[in-house]
Chain A
Amino acid sequence: MLLIILLPLIAAIIVGFWGRRLPRGASHLICCSAVGISMVLSFYLLWRVNQGYRFDDDIYTWLDLGFTRLTIGFLIDPLSVLMMAIVTFISFLVHVYTIGYMKDDKGYARFFAYISFFTFAMLMLVSANNFLQMFFGWEGVGLASYLLIGFWYTRESAIKAGMKAFLMNRVGDFGFIIGISLLFATLKTANFSEIFVRIDELQGLTVSLFPDYELPLITTICVALFFGAMGKSAQMPLHVWLPDSMEGPTPISALIHAATMVTAGIFMVARMSPVFEWSDTVLSLIIIIGATTAVFMAILGLVQNDIKRVIAYSTLSQLGYMTVALGVSAYSIALFHLMTHAFFKALLFLAAGSVIIALHHQQDLRKMGGLRRIMPITYITTLIGAWALIGLPPFAGFFSKEPIIEATKYSTLTGHHYAYIALTIGVFLTACYTFRMIFLAFHGQPRFDVHHDRGYQAPKESPLAVTVPLILLAIPSIFAGFLFIKPMLFGNFFDRSLVVASEHHAMVDLTENWHGIGAYFLHIPSTPAFWLALLGVVVAWFFTLRQPQASAVLIRTFTPLYKFLINHFYFDAFYEKIIARGTVAFSRMSTLVVETMGIEGFLVEMPIKIVRWSASLLRHLQTGYLYHYALAMVLGLLLLITRWGMI
């Protein structure tokens, strides 16, 4: 089991340090086989856990604080092993895909070292049995993400995007660490199982922020923890780093910024379900934030012209769906959607990457078109991914998204009506932007530039290293839904690793209405979501293929609104122009006013001036020699001693 986690680390170290001296083949061989073995072992572990195997123990003591020990230890239960299987599976396919995608890049070995390190950190995160180790992984994936977004380090925009991602994540971590500290300060432990057992001790306790202003303790903890999740899982208003992270190479967008790292926040909240269940206030907050993210990010997806950014906004929107599921205490659906989303979103990104390399790093949808004949495998797999994403039966997304919407209907927490409406509109929007992307890229007339000079290669289907992972991801994108819906949602798969309080009965109601797959299919025509999805496809078709000029008319008619959307609701402008520049201006001002004028001018220069001034009276005393000043100080001191008669 340790091997699963350590193998990618070992590979990362070897390739990271000696990669430049190794032949390229060795780099990918080491990393792929390490992650491959890791994947096989994870699946074996998944099978064992399903048989009832559990593990919860410490490996070594990181710090012994006397009253408690901070440790490195692992918790293997259905929740963590499911995540391990997803992470290693996607990671392995992305490793293989990278062989094809990055084959001409000079940072080949470095890239493999980073993604293997990322895999290690992510596994540490999901398998932790305490907060300390989770935070290790949490920051480790942040580091990997920072390095990988800025992988092409001579690009100004890439470096900036990496920095933005790290800083935004740090804002989230700020909340996360406050949450951890509060739990640690009150329960004196960082171990999950101890926290879960003793969390009820905190009920009714309060914590003061200002004098005479008490906050309920558990709610404060949950808000802080969820703030961390918002940073990692890019929920509004901490979402701005995710679209920019598309500056990184595409395999990274698939692995980190779609399938795994961004779901760490979702995973964390699910892991903490025994804590979150105590606070209805926070669950409502989660619902509202998630629903807002789901619908507003989908709107932004409609106006993007960069193929990767369309998918990025789709990721944000889908993360919103998962967040809503957490809020209505349907943790298992959130994880189920996390899983199916990992498959089809990784698929979509890798397919987009396939298009991008075929077109020589062209990412603009307006310069694509007609690719379905040139790249049939990419086209069909993209189509599968898209169907899964918009939730058309019988693809995977349908089985994970539809229950979320239904769960919001059954929930009784504040905000559930809002969430129901938002998510339903979201389905329509999802279909719109997804098929807008597909129609623009694969249908219609080719709009890409064709050069006729020598050495130019016309777009063609990608090599096997690229297409095989696409096909392997397309399979679960089709089948994972109806195969696993029963055990994961209504069965006993998660066992006791997820806790739901009895008053949060959305999941119970959903189970009561579950009459098997067959009945579920029959009920499709009665769901608004299904028809909205179809309508979305038709609308997308109308605006891109039937009447391409119609969208231009729309843009002209609603110019202010369009500007508002194309600027991402001005979130980026707000952070950059107001927060970042404001801080820098404040820093400059404090340097000038406090450092230079205040401390230098008053504390340092003033005594010198006084000395000079008195020296101008007693000119012979002003010598400029250090030892004279020193002597004066000693004399002054003696004066003080004799005056005060201290001795």
Chain B
Amino acid sequence: MNAASWMNLSLLIWFPIITGIATYLLRHVANGVISRSVANIAATFMLFAVACLLYSFDTTIAAMQFSQRIPWIPSFGIEYTLGVDGLSVLFIAFNALITFLVIVTRKPNANNAYIAALLVTSGLIYGAFTALDGVLFYVFFETMLIPIYLTIGIWGGVNRKYAATKFFLFTLFGSLFMLLALFYLYGVSGSFSIKDWHILPLNIDAQILLFIGFLLAFAVKTPMWPLHSWAPDAYSEGPTGAIVLLSSTKIGAYAFLRLLLPIAPDAVNQLAPWMIILSLIAVIYFGIIALTQSDLKRLITYSSVAHMGMVTLGFFLLGDVALKGAVILMLSNALAAAALFLCAGALSDRMGSCRIIDYQGIVNVMPWLATLFVFFAMANVALPGTSGFVGELLVIFGAVEYHLGVGLLTATVLVIGAAYTLWLVKRVVFGAIGNSQIAAMKDLNHRERFGMVVLAVVMLVMGIYPQPFLALIDVSVTDLLAHLARTKL
């Protein structure tokens, strides 16, 4: 057991789920006051618990920490195994932060059932990031969909049913192939332990099949080109809180690091050039598509998936610098996407529309939002001093080191990203007041401002002094690379 043996990962998972259920059950009691307090306390407590986890996390070892292992379905060797390492620790921390912000800065009239769904989602996300058993991971990975599916379908926009169904079917479709891969791995190894699978020798054909199975699942979730089609619909229709949580949960990309790369390293080495091409398509194609989106949230979605293209690119360059950059980029994109969706949410709450042409000259009436929006836009175009820069710089370094041509294509993100982001800012934020509805808009209230300012501060800290963040992931990434370099044939 670890030094901080009191730190229990199960607590992270089940506390929000149980409080979420409580929030749901108590939603009518005393006008929902109890229910709202439960949610607030739960979110705050989680933030505190994760802070303790970070504090006692040992950055010098690559092994799993705070591990828990309980037999679950012994006849199939399925265990309830949890653990945290450098790859997952920051995602857990960011999940706590984003959940906290989403819950405490929600609208005062937000439905308690909706808040309950967010809490449950958050708990399941912790589960997915800590699970070390294949089946357990699959269960969390899948059940996470249900509350999000519900929030989009019930509290979403006009086309919510279509968006929710599409989202559900797409991800389910991908996951089925992962399930297939998991069963196959069980068949070969007789175990569902992910750590066992990491060291399981496999021939190249098996590795390639596994690679494809996992890839389909994770590519949908990440999302990667061309399996992204659910994302613009889901993100533009979903309610703000849910999409902030969903867009900042990089579980699809994380799964590459936890499952795909270490289980099939030879296939990865062999297929990496194809993955690099797919990623570059995502970076450039999504950037260009983003330019002419007419919907604010769709534009932000394309921007986010373009950055995820940079992330998968960083994975498959298979270099030290690029991989570290990719992990940091995932984190920073989680912040940037969350922040931009919060801005979009604040605007659409007031205007009742997300069409870009409905906006103009926000700066005249909402100076706070305008300032923060410009800041987030700058973080999105990876201006040095913001979190976005760190990851992009390292991935570009890695890409140039890999091949100059790949580097040149990757670096186009500097121009394309700036083009769609600044054009968006120009159309929405600047200019004279566009119409009477804008003239009547009020600036951010305290709760909205609080959420965005916290995100802005984290982005700034991460941009000015990223070393503490890198220190957390450093050893595990190095270990993963060493693992990738060894053949499993």
The chain A residues found within 8 Å of chain B, CB to CB, are 60-67, 132, 135-136, 138-140, 143, 146-147, 150, 153-154, 156, 159-160, 163, 166-167, 170-171, 173-174, 177-178, 181-182, 184-185, 207-210, 215, 220, 583-584, 586-588, 590-591, 594-595, 598-600, 603-604, 626, 629-630, 633-634, 637, 640-641, 646-647
Contacts of B467 in A (CB 8 A): 61-64
Decide yes or no whether B176 CB sits under 8 A from chain A: yes
Query: In the assembled complex, which residues on chain A have CB atoms less than 8 Å from the CB atom of B291?
Result: 583-584, 587
- CB B265 to nearest CB in A, in angstroms, measures 21
Q: A167-B418, A167-B419, A178-B411 are in contact. Are A603 and B229 (CB under 8 A)?
A: yes
Q: A154: which of B288, B293, B361, B426 is its contact (CB, 8 Å)?
A: B361
Complex CA–CA separation, A220 to B407 (angstroms):
13
Cβ–Cβ contact A65 & B400, under 8 A: no
Enumerate 12 A-B pairs (CB-CB under 8 Å) in ascending A order. Answer: A64-B470, A136-B384, A154-B431, A159-B431, A163-B426, A167-B418, A173-B414, A174-B412, A177-B396, A182-B407, A209-B405, A646-B184
Cα distance A519–B478 in the bound complex, in angstroms: 66
Which residues of chain A are near B414, meaning CB under 8 Å? 170, 173-174, 177
Given A64-B467, A140-B385: A209 touches B229 (CB 8 Å cut-off): no
Assembled-state Cα–Cα distance A147/B186 (Å) = 58
Q: CB < 8 Å: which of B172, B321, B363, B378 contacts A65?
A: B321
Please judge, given known A-B contacts A584-B291, A640-B180, whether A633 and B324 are in contact too, CB under 8 Å. no
Q: Which 7 A-B pairs have the closest CB atoms?
A: A181-B400, A185-B401, A587-B292, A136-B384, A587-B291, A153-B430, A159-B430
User: Quick one: which of B229, B363, B430 has the most chain A CB within 10 A?
Assistant: B430
Given contacts A136-B385, A143-B378, A220-B404, contact A641 B180 (CB under 8 A): yes
Indicate whether B422 reaches chain A with its CB closer than 8 angstroms: yes
A633 CA / B399 CA spacing, docked (Å): 39
**CB atoms of B415 and A591 under 8 A apart:** no
In the assembled complex, the Cα of A132 lies from the Cα of B176 at a distance in Å of 45
Q: Which of B172, B396, B405 contacts A633 (CB 8 A)?
A: B172
Cβ A174 vs Cβ B405 within 8 A: no
CB pair B426–A143 under 8 Å, yes or no, is no
What is the CA–CA distance of A65 and B361 in the complex, to the nearest angstrom?
43
Which residues from A are CB-within-8-Å of B186?
Answer: 647
A140-B405 Cα distance, complex, nearest whole Å = 28
Out of A150, A163, A598, A646, which one reaches B180, CB within 8 Å? A646
- Chain A residues near B466: list those with CB within 8 A: 62-63
Q: Does A637 lie within 8 Å of B292, measured CB to CB?
A: no
B374 to nearest A CB, angstroms?
8
Q: Are B415 and A207 in contact (CB under 8 A)?
A: no
- Any chain A CB within 8 A of the CB of B173? yes
**Cα–Cα, bound, A170→B426 (Å):** 17
Which residue from A167, A174, A185, A208 sits with its C-beta under 8 Å from B422?
Answer: A167
For the complex with contacts A583-B291, A587-B291, 5 further pairs of A-B residues with Cβ separation under 8 Å are A65-B324, A138-B384, A139-B385, A181-B397, A646-B180
Docked-complex contact A181 and B422, CB < 8 angstroms: no
- Distance in angstroms between the alpha carbons of A584 and B400 in the assembled complex: 28
- Interface residues in B391-406 (C-beta closer than 8 Å to A): 393-394, 396-397, 399-401, 403-405
Binds A, one of B24-32, B163-171, B307-315: B163-171
Q: Are A156 and B431 in contact (CB under 8 A)?
A: yes
Q: How far is the CA of A65 from the CA of B470 in the complex (A)?
A: 9
Dominant secondary structure of chain B at its interface with chain A: helix
A174-B430 contact, Cβ under 8 Å, with A584-B292, A587-B292, A641-B183: no
Complex Cα distance A65/B364, Å? 44
B48 at the interface (CB under 8 A from A): no
What chain B residues lie within 8 Å of A208 (beta carbons)? 403-404
Output the least CB separation between A83 and chain B (Å): 19
A330 to B434 CA separation, bound complex (whole angstroms): 53
Task: Name B290's closest neighbour in chain A (CB-CB).
Answer: A587
Query: Separation in Å of the A143 CB from the closest CB of chain B?
Result: 6
**Are B384 and A595 in contact, CB atoms less than 8 angstroms apart?**
no
Once the chains are docked, how many angstroms separate the CA of A479 from the CA of B290?
54
In the complex, the answer to whether A139 meets B384 with C-beta atoms within 8 Å is yes
The answer on a CB contact under 8 Å between A587 and B289 is yes
Verify if B383 is at the interface (C-beta below 8 Å from A): yes
A591 surroundings in chain B (CB, below 8 A): 289, 292-293
- Asked if A595 contacts B176 (CB within 8 A), the reply is no
Bound form: Cα–Cα A174–B389 in Å: 13
**Closest Cβ neighbor of B401 among chain A residues:** A185
Let me know if B385 and A153 touch, CB within 8 A. no
**A104: shortest Cβ distance to chain B, in Å?**
19
Closest to B403 in A: A208
Max chain A Cβ within 10 angstroms of own Cβ: one of B228, B324, B383, B412: B383
Q: CB of B443 within 8 A of chain A?
A: no
A139-B384, A182-B400 known; A633 vs B176 contact (CB < 8 Å): yes
Chain B residues engaging chain A, CB cutoff 8 angstroms: 165-166, 168-169, 172-173, 176, 179-180, 183-184, 186-187, 226-229, 285, 288-293, 320-321, 324, 361, 363-364, 374, 378, 381, 383-385, 389-390, 393-394, 396-397, 399-401, 403-405, 407-408, 411-412, 414-415, 418-419, 422-423, 426, 429-432, 465-467, 470-471, 474, 478
In the complex with contacts A594-B285, A599-B229, A66-B430 CB distance below 8 A: no
* Min CB–CB distance B427 → chain A (angstroms): 9
Across the interface, do A166 and B422 meet the contact criterion of CB distance under 8 Å?
yes
Query: Is there an interface contact between A630 and B226, defined as CB atoms closer than 8 Å?
Result: no
The answer to whether B390 and A63 touch across the interface, beta carbons within 8 angstroms, is: yes
Q: Complex formed: what's the CA distance from A238 to B176 in Å?
A: 51
Instruction: Give chain B residues whose Cβ lies under 8 Å from the Cβ of A181.
Output: 396-397, 399-401, 407, 411
Minimum distance in angstroms from B402 CB to a CB of chain A: 9
Once the chains are docked, how many angstroms separate the CA of A380 from the CA of B151?
A: 71
* Interchain nearest-CB distance for A43 vs B (Å): 28
**In the complex the two chains form, is A604's CB within 8 Å of B415's CB?**
no
Distance (whole angstroms) from the CB of A138 to the closest CB of chain B:
8
Q: Chain A contacts of B173 at CB under 8 A?
A: 633
Known contacts A159-B431, A626-B165, A646-B184; A60/B415 CB under 8 A: no
Residues from chain A with a CB closer than 8 A to the CB of B426 are 159-160, 163
Q: How far is the CA of A397 from the CA of B18 in the complex (A)?
A: 77
CB nearest to B381 among chain A residues: A170
Decide: B183 and A62 in contact? CB cutoff 8 A: no
Q: What chain A residues lie within 8 Å of B423 (beta carbons)?
A: 163
- CA–CA, A630 to B172, complex, Å? 8
* Complex contact B478–A66 (CB within 8 A): yes
**Most chain-A Cβ atoms within 10 A of its Cβ — which of B172, B293, B407?**
B407
A177 touching B419, Cβ below 8 Å: no
Query: If the complex has contacts A62-B465, A595-B289, are A178 and B183 also in contact, measured as CB distance less than 8 A?
Result: no
Find B415's partner among A170, A586, A641 (CB 8 Å cutoff): A170
Q: Which residues of B contact A163 (CB under 8 A)?
A: 422-423, 426
Contact across chains for B183 and A60 when beta carbons are under 8 A apart:
no
Q: In the complex, are the beta carbons of B397 and A185 less than 8 A apart?
A: yes
Which residues of the partner chain B approach A160 to less than 8 Å between Cβ atoms? 426
CA distance in complex: A584, B293 (Å): 10
Q: Which of B169, B228, B397, B411 contacts A184 (CB 8 A)?
A: B397
**CB atoms of A629 and B169 under 8 A apart:** yes
Q: A154-B432, A646-B180 are in contact. Are A590 and B465 (CB under 8 A)?
A: no
Contact assessment for A167 and B415 in the assembled complex, using a CB-CB cutoff below 8 Å? yes
Residue of B361, B404, B430 touching A150 (CB-CB under 8 A): B430
Query: Which residues of B sit under 8 angstroms from A215, Cβ to Cβ?
Result: 404
> How close is B63's CB to chain A, nearest CB, in angstroms?
19
CB A185 to nearest CB in B, in angstroms, measures: 4
CB neighbours (8 Å) of A590 from chain B are 285, 288-289
Q: Please, which residues of chain A bring their CB within 8 A of the CB of B465?
A: 60, 62
Question: Please, how many angstroms separate the alpha-carbon atoms of A181 and B401 in the complex?
Answer: 7
Are A174 and B384 neighbours in the complex by a CB distance under 8 Å?
Answer: no
In the docked arrangement, what's the CA distance between A166 and B430, Å?
15
Contact indicator B288/A586 (Cβ below 8 Å): yes
- The minimal Cβ–Cβ distance linking A515 to chain B, given in whole angstroms, is 48
Are B411 and A177 in contact (CB-based, < 8 A)? Answer: yes
Given contacts A163-B426, A181-B400, A646-B187, contact A66 B431 (CB under 8 A): no
Complex contacts, A603 vs chain B, CB 8 Å: 226-227, 229
